[in-house]
Amino acid sequence: MKKVVALVLAALMLLGSVSFAGAEEEKVQLTALFIAHPLTKHVDEMKWIDEIEEAAGVDVTWEVIWTDWDQIKSTRFASGDIPDLLFNATTDSDYTTYKGLFKDLTGLLEYAPNVQAMFDEEPDTLALAKTYEGEIYGLPKFQGKWPDTNTVLFINQTWLDNLGLEKPTTLSELKEVLIAFRDNDANGNGDATDEIPMDFNGWFGSAYGLNNLIGSWGIQLTNWAYNSYFAEDGIVKAYAVDDRYKAMMKYFADLYAEGLINENAITNDYSMFQSLSRGDADGNALVGVVMGWEETDKFGPTLHSQYVPCGPFVNDIDEYADVEPRWPYDFSGLNMSGNRVCMSANCANPEAAMKFIDQFYRSDVSVQGLFGGITDGCVSVVGEDHYKVEDPLDPNTDPGTWKWTSSMADNAPMYIRRSTQIDMSIDMTYALQEREQYVEALSLVDMENEYYPQMFMKYTADDQNAMAVAQANVDNIINNYWGLWMTGESNIDDDWDDYVAAVEAAGLNEILAIRQAAFDAYLGK
């Protein structure tokens, strides 16, 4: 009888342990959408994603979209056809346009200690996450290792040396150097006609448009100054209707008329802009002065050593000659972005989904989300909270391209702490070194009166709608004129007064009033 009882008890215990193990292994099923960079491989190929799914006890079915999300998003959202989690897929306006589609995450923060730590330690991320009403739908990222400015103005030092010239420090010296580049076979290949003295890409909202040089006329740009908005003495303004912008446009129109600016820059796309900077088939540099992110990214592996940073330039040509030259300040825009991940209001397991989201904000995972997985050989662990970004496994790929290929990169949710130590790849080392050129100029930024925190400013749904309509009308006018003035097809002195009146009539003053109220509210907080 004792043996029978013992066997029965053993069987029951075994059955219980099997059932318990089965319960342990049962994972919460989630669906997710990731809007990826065109270079980025599928999420299913990223081992670090598998590892954090395992750590969170979830199994995620991923959908990845690489192109045309802006064209299909409205249809998906209007139908309510969204997965549990959406990565890099939403904007602030989506939460008001499709009210009820997304979940307010405020009540789930208790399941996300890493996200809460980011909010506590970097309060601007909380300001970025909150809507006008104080709800949290999209979680931001913080990657606090990026520099204070997005833009470097490069000049070809080899060309300067070939012609016995010094690096220019004023606007008049810049013109003189560009003329020398134009006339004297600066690249030394025997052809005095193939040099492009100066090139640019885009205009308003572009990191590489010549309008970024408006600091030589005393205007401080911050966070890429989309649509030309900036702050001065605590007042929100638009430099597109400022007399200093007019003076800048006259300077560049003069350079263009002299054949010193690439005549195709206005219509060239970004790929052509990059291609020109990487020289010709024989390895000759073609561009003298141009903006870019970092030298190896901009000029490639063979030409990058020819280029050095320059600017900002002292204004010595017009009535603004007494201003201190400025340089664009972009720390917030480079290190923070909103809406890296959000959740469907219909998610059946919000607590589990939030725990999974929180994995992305772990220190070690954040580094992998940006640079690639540890187990994939993209990143190695040096010590406690100390990591090294390894060289690309593909020797024919530069570090920047490898990062975008191997991981979610800048599109990932992440919290890279200021205390985290990262031994960067050579491209980031160069990027930080190059920006030493602008330390003095960036020290002039008045964070209280000149810093324009556009990304942190919040608006009501009515204000968003009003600005969207007015901005479209304003953009139509300002974008039509700058190219005409640059190329000399229209005269800026003849057009200016009517142009300003038209922009204001199109709704600029209404936009400025709304933005000023949001700016004052941000400063009040």
Q: Where do runs of H (alpha helix) occur along 419-503?
A: 426-434, 439-442, 461-487, 492-503
Distance from CA of residue 108 to its chain's centroid? 28
Alpha-carbon Rg for the chain, nearest whole angstrom, is 27
* Burial environment of residue 333 by CB neighbours within 10 A (0 to 12, 13 to 18, 19 or more): buried
- Please indicate, yes or no, whether residues 114 and 41 belong to a single structural domain of this protein: yes
User: Of 409, 424, 439, which residue sits at a domain end?
Assistant: 424
- In-domain check, residue 17: no
- Residue 317 is classified by DSSP as S
Q: Based on the fold, state whether residues 32 and 107 are members of the same structural domain.
A: yes
pLDDT computed for residue 20 by the predictor: 41
Rounded-to-integer distance, Cα 437 and Cα 311, Å: 8
Encoding tokens for residue 205? Answer: 């909202």
Predicted pLDDT at 23: 45
- Does residue 500 contact residue 477 with C-beta atoms inside 8 Å? no
Q: Give the C-alpha separation, 173 to 175, whole Å.
A: 5
User: Do 199 and 209 touch, CB atoms closer than 8 A?
Assistant: no
- One domain for residues 167 and 287: yes
Q: Is there a domain that residue 489 lies in? A: yes
Same domain, 219 and 348: no
pLDDT score, position 401: 86
Residues 299, 425 contacting (CB under 8 angstroms): no
Alpha-carbon distances of 297 from 144, 251, 334, 469, rounded to whole Å:
21, 29, 17, 37
Angle between helices 350-359 and 47-56 (to 10 degrees): 140
143 shares a domain with 180: no
- Domain boundary at 374, 409, 424, which? 424
Q: Are residues 125 and 66 in the same domain?
A: yes
The residue segments making up the domain with residue 45 are 27-147+333-424
d(CA 165, CA 253) in angstroms, rounded, equals 24
Among 407, 424, 441, identify where a domain stops.
Answer: 424
DSSP strand pairing (235-238 vs 229-232):
antiparallel
d(CA 441, CA 444): 6
Q: Rounded to 10 degrees, what is the CA torsion of 108, 114, 115, 118?
A: 150
Residues 185 and 314 in one domain: yes
Q: Indicate whether 45 and 139 sit together in one domain.
A: yes
Cβ atoms of 139 and 129 closer than 8 Å: yes
As to burial, measured by CB atoms within 10 angstroms (0-12 exposed, 13-18 middle, 19+ buried), residue 191 is exposed
Query: What DSSP letter does each residue of 111-130 carry, written as one string?
Result: G-HHHHHHHHH-HHHHHHHB
Confirm whether 13 is domain-assigned: no
Position 222 in a domain:
yes
As a whole number of angstroms, the longest Cα–Cα distance in the chain is 111
> How many domains, the chain?
2
Contact (Cβ atoms closer than 8 angstroms) between residue 193 and residue 303: no
Q: Do residues 188 and 315 both lie within one domain?
A: yes
In a domain, 63, yes or no: yes
Domain check: are 289 and 162 in the same one?
yes
Q: Reduced to 3 states, what is the DSSP secondary structure of residue 519? A: helix
Q: Is 186 a domain residue?
A: yes
Which burial class, exposed, middle or buried, applies to 259 when counting CB atoms under 10 A from its CB (0-12, 13-18, 19+)? middle
Q: Strand ranges (DSSP E) for 349-461?
A: 379-383, 386-389, 415-416, 421-423
Report the distance separating Cα 435 and Cα 312, nearest Å. 12
Which residues of the chain register pLDDT less than 50? 1-2, 4-23
CB 503 within 8 A of CB 241: yes
Asked if residue 340 belongs to a domain, the reply is yes
Does 208 map to a domain? yes
Closest C-alpha to 451, from 223, 240, 228: 223
- CATH number of the domain that 78 lies in? 3.40.190.10
Q: DSSP 3-state assignment of 98?
A: coil
Q: Are residue 311 and residue 213 in the same domain, yes or no?
A: yes
d(CA 220, CA 449): 10
Is 382 in the same domain as 455?
A: no
